[in-house]
A and B are shown apart, each in its own frame.
Chain A
């Protein structure tokens, strides 16, 4: 069964450094998303992406964040200058525009630790 994959599984970085989190969505899906989950808290939406542009973003997704689909398979989230409060689990998801039930399929997540 097709699945969303994410790399790395765990990233440790120093405050102020740039990080890029990578995702490979399910191949025939056209909508892509990033969510984050601070330890023990709820899952928060960051951004959605369709047709090579951002379709929606939350107030969390400020100028320090960017997304890109550099090729036909990868979808990346970049944090330009990480802060301690960016430490969280970041989940990528994708969905199929053909499905009327709107379900999204999630990757296993990247745990980002900012020290």
Chain B
């Protein structure tokens, strides 16, 4: 079956540091890939997405590139802020109406 593996947290960084969260997936074919973010006490928000190999999703300074050859979709941000403190979830979906399969989530804490 499909699965998503993320690096375990928590990841603690200083403001303006570079953030990378690794995500790899197992799935047949060409799933769509997503990063969702969950701020403290809130629901899941779609952060960015990519639908095919070599696509780069980007939003709010975050980027992730769909790498078919390494089955990866690592999330990066060049300069984090305290407001980026949240839990980040990598996820995939195989088709319209299919469930999202989530990774375990990575908690990020950015200190001033």
Segment at the interface with A among B12-20, B69-77, B78-86, B90-98: B90-98
Determine if A107 is an interface residue (Cβ-Cβ < 8 Å): yes
Residues on the B chain within 8 Å of A97, using CB: 96-97
Tell me how many residues of A have a C-beta within 8 Å of chain B: 28
Contact across chains for B46 and A109 when beta carbons are under 8 A apart = no
Contact digits for A76-101, partner B, Cβ 8 Å, 1 yes 0 no: 00000000000000010101010111
Q: When chains A and B are docked, how far (Å) is the Cα of A24 from the Cα of B89?
A: 24
Q: Between A and B, how many residue pairs show CB distances below 8 Å?
A: 69
A21 to chain B, nearest CB (A): 13
Are B42 and A48 in touch, CB under 8 angstroms? no
A31 proximity list for chain B (CB < 8 A): 96-97
Binding site for A on B (CB under 8 A): 32, 34, 36, 42-46, 49, 51, 89, 91, 93-105
> In the complex the two chains form, is B51's CB within 8 Å of A100's CB?
yes
Q: Are B102's CB and A42's CB within 8 A?
A: yes
B68 to chain A, nearest CB (A): 16
Across the interface, do B96 and A106 meet the contact criterion of CB distance under 8 Å? no
Supposing A42-B105, A43-B89, A43-B105 touch, asked if A104 and B100 sit within 8 A by C-beta, the answer is yes
Complex formed: what's the CA distance from A88 to B35 in Å? 22
> B6: nearest residue on chain A (CB-CB)?
A42
Measured CB to CB, the nearest residue on chain A to B94 is A102
- Judge whether B103 and A95 touch: CB under 8 Å: no
Q: Which of A42, A56, A108 has the most CB of B within 10 A?
A: A42
Other than the given A31-B96, A45-B101, A56-B98, 9 more pairs (CB < 8 A) read A43-B44, A43-B89, A43-B100, A43-B102, A48-B99, A99-B96, A101-B49, A108-B42, A109-B43
A48 touches B97 (CB 8 A): yes
